[in-house]
């Protein structure tokens, strides 16, 4: 029998996802390794590969479907020698109703469901007054009474056609066995017209983490949140509510760093490498964390985890929302390697193609809004990390050097620290280490 293909867990924390796009259709042959679908997780859109070869017998979940739980059957795969026919939907569609063992005819375009043999445990059909009614009085009705409830008796194909055409099956006369509504019954039926009803009064809208607020009659449009934005809203709300932030800000001269960057770019130009200021700041934060290991930690309930390498998560603005690809072991990598990796990761982030290991983890984060002219800001910690460094724009400012007033290129940097894991003095030591590496940047080349 066909093998079910289930919604995969594409990351350790994934519980559900959006089936963004099918790249195969029913009847297609697939081999192990073929890309079958694109699935949107809470961080990125990822490709889903086939692990077996066979024929796509049935697509159970349409593309664009949101909140598909991990483990849900999304398609059926027929192997060699198996019939490429989908599994029978009758058990789900008529769930909770008594089966009498009558095999009903299959319409053209419908999938055959295996016949079910009644057992001694099956309830016997109850004959009501309609058994002696005039011809058509019972079999022509699509609604069968069952105790205090009722249900529509219709073939799956008829139900699909009715749903597509907007036909109310309650008003359709069934011509099939036992009053079953079949394809021919709905083919010429008219779509239902919704009765006029007063417009509902819209209540106040809610925003994740905020109390419901009125709109005060101001015109607005709504936009449905994607998976990434939902996760951002949830995690940042949790971070601000549960993590006691402490903020430490200092000013850093950039002149020496900018001079070194220009010299390095001239030397690396034949190799096609161009360093950004951000590449050098990634290296500086990683080395500062290795110099002040008390800040390269995370709070884990009853434990304090001390990390032995500095993996820097770098905030990247993607169309779907903020994401933080990671430069692994940035403290021991050269600035040219960091630059090459960062460009590749940023491109994948903007395309939604990051793999879980490329954005999950990290021991600290760096967020740079200097390119937007932002002078200074406080960033929210990305749990389970215990610190994030926010850097603003380098700008010409009056600055005192050796008791003399001069003009220097100065950048403000603010560290946000989880006060449960990092004391203020340790945070200050990290900020000083970062400042000294930026102002004396030759230390970044070791």
> Which residues belong to the active site?
419
Q: Residue 399 class from Cβ within 10 Å (0-12 exposed, 13-18 middle, 19+ buried)?
A: middle
Q: Using an 8 Å Cβ cutoff, are 352 and 320 in contact? A: yes
Contact 277, 370 (CB under 8 A): yes
CA geometry: angle at 77 spanning 76 and 78, to 5°? 120
| Of 260, 307, 266, the residue nearest 280 (C-alpha) | 260
Q: How far apart are the two ends of the chain, measured CA to CA in Å? A: 62
Separation CA 424–CA 294 (nearest Å): 11
CB-based burial label for 323 (10 Å; 0-12, 13-18, 19+): buried
Residues contacting 38, CB < 8 A, separation 6+ = 20, 21, 23, 45, 46, 47, 48
Q: How many CB atoms lie within 10 A of CB 307?
A: 18
CA distances from 199 to 202, 332, 353 (A): 9, 64, 43
The DSSP string of 31-67 is -TT-EEEEEE-SS-EEEEE-SS-EEEEEE-S-TTEEE
Question: Rounded to an integer, what distance in angstroms lies between the CA atom of residue 423 and that of residue 427?
Answer: 6
d(CA 142, CA 48): 42
Q: What is the DSSP letter of 334?
A: -
Q: Which residue has the tokens 């800040």?
A: 295
- Bridge partners (DSSP) listed for residue 277: none
Do 54 and 80 touch, CB atoms closer than 8 A?
yes
How is residue 61 written in tokens?
């979940």
Q: How far apart are CA 312 and CA 380, in angstroms?
A: 15
The total of other beta-carbon atoms located within 10 Å of residue 257's CB is 23
Q: Measure the CA angle with vertex 19, ends 161 and 357; round to 5°.
A: 175
Q: Taking the alpha carbons of 427, 428, 432, 435 in that order, is the dihedral positive or negative?
A: positive
The total of other beta-carbon atoms located within 10 Å of residue 382's CB is 22
């Amino acid at each position: 029998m066909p093998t079910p293909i289930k919604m995969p867990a594409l990351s350790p924390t994934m519980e559900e996802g959006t089936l963004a796009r099918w790249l195969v259709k029913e009847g297609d042959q697939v081999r192990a390794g073929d890309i079958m679908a694109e699935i949107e997780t809470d961080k990125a859109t990822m490709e889903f590969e086939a692990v077996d070869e066979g024929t796509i017998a049935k697509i159970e979940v349409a593309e664009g479907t949101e909140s598909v739980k991990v483990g849900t059957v999304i398609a059926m795969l027929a192997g060699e020698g198996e019939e490429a026919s989908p599994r029978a939907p009758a058990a789900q569609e008529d769930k909770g109703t008594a089966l009498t063992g009558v095999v009903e005819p299959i319409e053209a375009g419908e999938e055959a469901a295996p016949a079910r043999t009644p057992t001694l445990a099956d309830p016997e059909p109850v004959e009501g007054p309609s058994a002696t009614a005039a011809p058509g009085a019972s079999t022509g009705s699509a609604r069968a009474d069952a105790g205090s409830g009722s249900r529509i008796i219709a073939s799956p194909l008829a139900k699909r056609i009715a749903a597509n055409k907007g036909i109310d099956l309650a008003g359709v006369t069934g011509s099939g066995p036992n009053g079953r509504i079949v394809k021919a019954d709905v083919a010429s039926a008219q779509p239902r017209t919704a009765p006029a009803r007063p417009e509902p009064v819209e209540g106040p809208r809610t925003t994740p983490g905020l109390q419901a607020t009125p709109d005060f009659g101001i015109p607005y449009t709504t936009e449905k949140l994607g998976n990434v934005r939902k996760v951002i809203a949830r995690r940042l709300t949790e971070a601000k509510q549960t993590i006691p932030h402490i903020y430490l800000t200092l000013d850093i001269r950039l002149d020496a760093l900018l001079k070194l960057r220009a010299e390095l770019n001239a030397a690396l130009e034949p190799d096609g490498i161009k360093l950004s200021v951000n590449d050098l700041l990634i290296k500086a934060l990683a080395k500062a964390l290795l110099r002040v290991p008390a800040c390269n930690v995370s709070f884990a309930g009853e434990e304090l985890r001390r990390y032995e390498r500095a993996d820097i998560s770098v905030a990247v603005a993607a169309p779907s929302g903020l994401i933080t690809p990671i430069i692994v072991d940035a403290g021991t990598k050269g600035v040219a390697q960091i630059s090459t990796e960062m460009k590749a990761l940023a491109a994948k982030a903007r395309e939604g193609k990051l793999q879980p290991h490329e954005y999950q983890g990290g021991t600290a984060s760096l967020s740079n809004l200097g390119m937007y002219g932002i002078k200074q800001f406080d960033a929210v910690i990305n749990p389970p990390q215990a610190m994030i460094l926010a850097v603003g724009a380098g700008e010409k400012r009056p600055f005192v050097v050796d008791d003399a007033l001069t003009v220097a290129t100065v950048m403000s940097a603010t560290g946000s620290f989880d006060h449960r894991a990092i004391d203020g003095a340790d945070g200050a030591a990290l900020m000083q280490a970062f400042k000294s590496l930026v102002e004396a940047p030759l230390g970044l080349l070791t």
